Amino acid sequence: MANFERLAMVTPNGDDSMIRVRVENVWSTLDVENGEGLSFLVVDDEGTRMHAFVQHFADAKRFKRLLQKGDWFTITGFSVVIVRNEIRMTKQRKEIVLKRNTEVGVSELFNGFIPLDLVPFQDVKNGTVHDGTSYTRDFLGVISSVSDFGLTVDDSMPRNIHNYDPKTTGSIDFVLEDNDGNHLNCRAKGILAVLFKRNWLCYGETGTNICLLTNWRVVGRDGPIQVEDEEGISTFEYDPPGHHEVVLVYCRLHQEGGPER
């Protein structure tokens, strides 16, 4: 049986490492200086997440074909770089570089429990999780209200120095409620806002909507928005199956007769 390196243990000097990971998300990137790119979010069976990106965009089509979202893979021949910035995508200060000689193999499924990185709502409210937290986190609650679709300024959008058009994108605001009645004001932007709106139109107001936000960033404490998505890496899921925390929410709702509206 192969010896797989845990994501938490890979180092920039370990080019001979083999990892076994599940692809959680795949997204395209666009940067004024570096042009187009392709990124992945991978997780191992300990729940450690790491951002991976394709070194040369010419190889993006190959990796997009090989690394399918939701499946498990073995990866060898990659490099690891250290993230120097405090603001980053994952808790790990490392990123995986997928190179031309990187090899990908299909792995058997892992059926064990992979923990989430859930943040208590009260920790956001009382400042335990600081504004602009260094890395993205997970949130779970009941959708108590949704605001109409609108426009918002998104300073993270790339723009060349000759273009003065505003950095505006579509957005939708919603409120999550936890088991203790605490609320978080959340915002989805861009493509994710469109997907959230479509899901809400299909499933909203048909019962209790438990929503899992994965890899979202804390951006405020007392302002109108406390949590918003990070382009590409963030996802949401209505009534997510298979999580112990979701069962606890369902139990609370069953006992109390549903959330307050």
Q: For residue 215, which amino acid is it?
A: N
Indicate the pLDDT class of residue 202, thresholds 50, 70 and 90: confident
Contact 216, 230 (CB under 8 A): yes
- Report which of 38, 65, 59, 90 is spatially closest to residue 234, judged by C-alpha positions: 90
CATH architecture assigned to 121-256: Beta Barrel (2.40)
Q: Residues near 227 by Cβ (< 8 Å), separated by ≥ 6?
A: 124, 139, 184, 185, 186, 187, 213, 216, 217, 218, 219
Name the residue with higher pLDDT: 66 or 29.
66
Specify the CATH superfamily of domain 7-106.
Nucleic acid-binding proteins (2.40.50.140)
Q: What is the pLDDT of residue 49?
A: 94
Query: Residues of the chain with pLDDT > 70: what percent?
Result: 89
- So what's the pLDDT on residue 205? 77
- Residue 9, number of CB atoms within 10 A of its CB: 13
Pick from 95-99, 132-136, 170-174: least confident: 132-136
Long-range contacts formed by 58-61: CB under 8 A, 24+ apart: 59/98, 59/99, 59/100, 60/36
Assessment of whether the complete model's pTM goes beyond 0.85: no
HEC letters along the chain: CCCCCCHHHCCCCCCCCEEEEEEEEEEEEEECCCEEEEEEEEECCCCCEEEEEECCHHHHHHHHHHCCCCCEEEEECCEEEECCCCCCCCCCCEEEEECCCCEEEECCCCCCCCCCCECCHHHHHCCCCCCCCCCCEEEEEEEEEECCCEEEECCCCCCCCCCCCCCEEEEEEEEEECCCCCEEEEEEEHHHHHHHHHHHHHHCCCCCCEEEEEEEEECCCCCCCCEEECCCCCEEEECCCCCHHHHHHHHHHHHHCCCCC
Residue 227 and residue 124: Cα distance in Å, rounded? 9
Domains 7-106 and 121-256 are alike in CATH topology: yes
Could you report the per-residue pLDDT of 64-121, keeping only the tens digit for each? 999 999 999 999 999 999 998 888 889 899 999 999 999 999 998 887 777 788 889 9
Q: Where are the domains of the chain?
A: 7-106, 121-256
φ, ψ for residue 194, nearest 5 deg: -65, -45
* pLDDT confidence bin for 259, thresholds 50/70/90: very low
Range from 6-10, 115-119, 250-254 that averages highest in pLDDT: 6-10
Q: Is the pLDDT of residue 180 over 70?
A: yes
The whole-chain average pLDDT of the chain stands at 85
Residue 255 — very low, low, confident or very high, per pLDDT cuts 50/70/90? Answer: low
Q: Taking residues 128-135, report their average pLDDT.
A: 68
With 60 as the cut, is the pLDDT of residue 258 above it? no
